[in-house]
Amino acid sequence: MLELLKHFRSNWGYRLLAVILALILWVYVTSEQNPMGETLVRVPLETQNLSEDLVIADSPTAVQVRVEGRKIVINSLLPRDIRAYVDMRYAQAGDNFLPVRVEVPAGVDIIDINPAEARIEVEKIEQAQFPVQVSLVGTPASGFRALAPSIIPSQVLVFGPTGVLENIGRVFVEVNIDQATSSYMSYLPVKLENQEGQPLHQWLTINPPAVEVQVPIIHDMPGRVLPIRPLLTGEPAEGFAVERVIVQPEIIEVFAPYELLQALDYVNTAPIDITGARRQVIRETTLDIPVGVQSGIMPRVRVIVEIAEAPEVPESTEED
């Protein structure tokens, strides 16, 4: 045992030299088989931590990142393997000049980032209300015609940068009625165009994003505007009486052959029962459209029947 320890101590220098030479040889062989390389990668530029009341109005879409590493790694590198971003935590409305941060995979080193600092324009989010227009595409089939469309809701709120909001030229939905023979109804997405007629979609939010659109398609017949008459059934509770009836809307346009149209003086609602009522009665109801008569959009009529205590009738007295 002592002889072995003595031999190790007397040859430690040779052993250390052997280890160093082996390490040098390994590095040399590795370098020859897998040399270093570099490449230039175009990476999409992301933003993060932007305040909810701000929006990015203008920023670079990408940056160029020069990286180096072993060729086996560099040759398989894709843009999605590298992440470039700007931290917008302290950004304010206006121009912001912020450093570009880059994350790369293990075994890859960053040589250069271009640009190293990005100019990002930030605007405060505002809102504006716009009426929604209907853009009709095509025409109904022969013998039919389209009436004025209705939209629910008729206006929407648009959220976005002030500059973009001011450039909005039209808020609309597109409705295809080509060769239609019946009324059209659907929920459609709201679209935006700038004042030059080009689509707008970036940095804007629409609320609601879709609206209900109805386009009446009717036979091409004469039309007439008629009052809507509420049809009440039953009687209020004893001691009460109908004070006033309000109909919303009050009129409707109907279409029919001329002889049938001339015989109409009004259009009734569906029956509204007020039996035993002691207070105001509010009903959403439909219309009783006669056979052979067409209307535009079948409205949901709102009828308000105001009920009040009947005035007392003084008893008559007879003189003896």
The domain that contains 246 carries what CATH number?
2.170.120.40
* 85 and 154 inside one domain: no
Residue 143 counted as domain residue: yes
DSSP codes joined into one string, 147-176: ---EEESSEEEEEEEHHHHHTEEEEEEEEE
Confidence of residue 231 (pLDDT cuts 50, 70, 90): very high
Cα 250 to Cα 139: distance, rounded to the nearest angstrom = 30
Query: What are the backbone dihedrals phi and psi of residue 270, each rounded to the nearest 5 degrees, phi first?
Result: -65, 155
Q: Does the pLDDT of residue 2 top 70, yes or no?
A: no
Confidence of residue 17 (pLDDT cuts 50, 70, 90): low
Burial of residue 262 (CB within 10 Å: 0-12, 13-18, 19+) is exposed
End residue of a domain, out of 199, 219, 239: 219
End residue of a domain, out of 219, 251, 268: 219
> Which residue carries 């590198």 as its tokens?
77
Range of the structural domain that residue 162 is part of: 132-219
226: nearest Cα among 209, 251, 201: 251
Per-residue pLDDT of 76-113, as tens digits, reads 888 889 999 999 999 998 999 999 999 999 888 999 99
Per-residue pLDDT of 33-77, as tens digits, reads 557 788 899 999 999 999 888 888 889 999 999 999 888 888 888
> Residue 245 in 3-state DSSP?
strand
What stretches of 11-107 show up as alpha helix (H) in DSSP?
A: 12-33, 71-74
Residue 30 counted as domain residue: no
End residue of a domain, out of 168, 185, 219: 219
Q: What is the mean pLDDT of residues 114-129?
A: 92
- Do 39 and 112 contact (CB within 8 A), yes or no? no
Query: What's at 29, amino acid-wise?
Result: V
Mean pLDDT of the chain: 86
Residue 17 counted as domain residue: no
Query: What's at 215, amino acid-wise?
Result: V
